[in-house]
A and B are shown apart, each in its own frame.
Chain A
Amino acid sequence: MNWAFYLIAALTVAGGLAAVLLKNTVHCALALTVAFAGLALFFLQLDAQFAGFAQILVYIGAVAILIVFAILLTRGSETPKGSVFSRNWLAGLAIAAGVFAVLGWAVLHSASVLPHETAAPTVTVLQIGNALMGRYVLPLEIVALLLTAALIGAVIVALHEKEGSR
């Protein structure tokens, strides 16, 4: 908990807030990227190099690009005339507060369940690789299968539209 933490936290929260509050959708996507970058900096601050760089590579390099492409290729890039707030924002606020409360409760209670670490653990990329290929290989394969299925599904959905129009 030092000044770097508060600096990155301010940046991340500001990025997240801007992503919700800005009117222009592309600006929102760019603000979301700032929040992603802030999260990556958090990982790096915790000495998790692999997670931090993977966050940058996947979220800034791919997910953010995907979002802006989706905005540009659909008809969502026009700036709305009126307010950006939805009419039932009160319900949204309640749900968000509920989710936040559950997450906060889970995080605060996890300290008593997990083994108590005295020193910060040093994890190398080699260890992560060994764990992914050894102990966690089944979850990894399941995730890979799920992503492949999603990819094929997306292609089929995109192609189907064309056959129908002919």
Chain B
Amino acid sequence: MIETMDQIFVLLQHWLMGLLPAALQPVAGVVLGVVAIVCLFPALFALTTVFERKGLARIQNRIGPNRVGPLGILQPVADGIKSLIKEDIVPLCADGVVHFLAPLLLVVAVFMGFAVLPMGRNMVLVDMDAGLLFFFAMGASTELSVFMAGWSSRNKYSLLGAMRAVAQMISYEVPLLMSSLSVVMIAGSLSLTKIVEAQNHYTWGLPHWYIFTPWGLAGFLTYAIATTAETNRSPFDLPEGESELVAGYHTEYSGFKFALFFLGEYLAMFSISGLGTTLFLGGWSAPFSFLGWVPSWFWFFSKMMLSIFVFIWMRGTLPRLRQDQLMNFAWKFVLPLTLVNLMVTVLWRFLGDGWQRWVFCSAILIVAYAGIGLAGMRRGHFGPRRYLYAE
């Protein structure tokens, strides 16, 4: 029974495949997997929008959406219908083809990332040898569609938003890749299924997740910071800062194209949270060994939604950064910390088992964190911004 619940989606897929002639079965298996991903994550997106609006409202002492359906739970249906029947306005001097292609390419590239995420035991669409590299390659190609959207709109706010977005995404991609690299060094593989398997061991009922090691905790923190910036979420939501740029690169998009951008942003959040879960939080493995009877997919999605909750919480709590603060933070604080963390990971790998490596690695990381932080604060130009080129 436990086994059946754990593998229920795999069994369902095999049962559906069995209904077809043998020649079609490999194709049907892939199509079923793709359809499942394409249906599931937009549904989660719809739920998350309500969850986010309700949560933000709670933080800001409001009620939030409560008109459509019980407790406003049907709000995304209304939003979907609204975005479908709205007029699709393309600015007169916009670059038609590029303007049309940008949201499509964004959503396609974001969807591709889900192909390599192991969402449960045996639940991965393509088990690639270079899965992590594939994920980051797809993530990097979203930047170009953001630029395409901003440039083709022929609007100063769009272009500024796109430039900010691209600069931010490029800057934070370096710490993102670097912090994932330490996991690859310990697990010894770029395959995400192998990374999860390497964490799926227990000592005294406690899991061997990478977040429970000094380098893993430091790596997870830098990873979390970099993902927040990479998905343009608050406090790094400068590319679409409403108060200064209207809506950034999707200012000139209306109707369903705007909905596609919205969808792409949330899907990117899901996929990058899923990757963080896989790399640092043990993927689909249970948090305690006695909870092993709970289906593996349940753990993956709980951890992913927990990360989404933290994203929403931060959005309700933190104020937006300024552009120069954002860049300084990336290059002068997060990047040195990830570099130190890489070295610490090497030490961890070669110091062998024993309590010494725990003390040693933790000490180096704490000293580095405090040192870089204090040095940055002491240099502290907290005053008004110094413009280098635009004076």
CB-CB under 8 A from A145, the residues of chain B are none
CB-CB under 8 A from A26, the residues of chain B are 151
Pick out which of these stretches binds chain B: A49-57, A92-100, A107-115.
Answer: A49-57
Check A61 against B137 for contact (C-beta < 8 Å). Answer: yes
Closest Cβ neighbor of B98 among chain A residues = A30
Which of chain B's residues 206-242 have a Cβ closer than 8 Å to chain A?
Answer: none
Would you give the shortest CB distance from B139 to chain A, in whole angstroms? 8
Which of chain B's residues 112-132 have a Cβ closer than 8 Å to chain A?
Answer: 128-130
A49 to B98, CA, bound (A): 29
A26 to B315, CA, bound (A): 35
Knowing A26-B151, A30-B148, A62-B170, the reply to whether A57 touches B140 (Cβ < 8 A) is yes
A124 to B130, CA, bound (A): 8
Pick out which of these stretches binds chain B: A1-9, A63-71, A134-142.
Answer: A63-71
Which of chain B's residues 367-388 have a Cβ closer than 8 Å to chain A?
Answer: 388
Interface contacts (Cβ under 8 Å), in number, total: 65
Closest Cβ neighbor of B166 among chain A residues = A65
Check A50 against B151 for contact (C-beta < 8 Å). Answer: no
A72 to B147, CA, bound (A): 11
For A61, give its contact among B140, B151, B159, B388 (CB under 8 Å).
B140
A-B contact pairs, 29 of them (CB 8 A): A26-B151, A30-B144, A33-B144, A49-B128, A49-B130, A50-B130, A50-B133, A53-B133, A54-B133, A54-B137, A56-B140, A57-B136, A57-B137, A60-B137, A60-B141, A61-B139, A61-B173, A65-B143, A65-B144, A65-B147, A65-B166, A65-B170, A68-B144, A69-B163, A72-B163, A124-B129, A125-B190, A126-B189, A162-B388
Instruction: With A49-B133, A72-B151 given, name 18 new contacts (CB 8 A).
Output: A30-B98, A49-B128, A53-B134, A53-B136, A54-B133, A56-B137, A56-B138, A57-B137, A60-B140, A60-B141, A61-B140, A62-B140, A64-B144, A69-B166, A124-B129, A125-B190, A126-B189, A162-B388
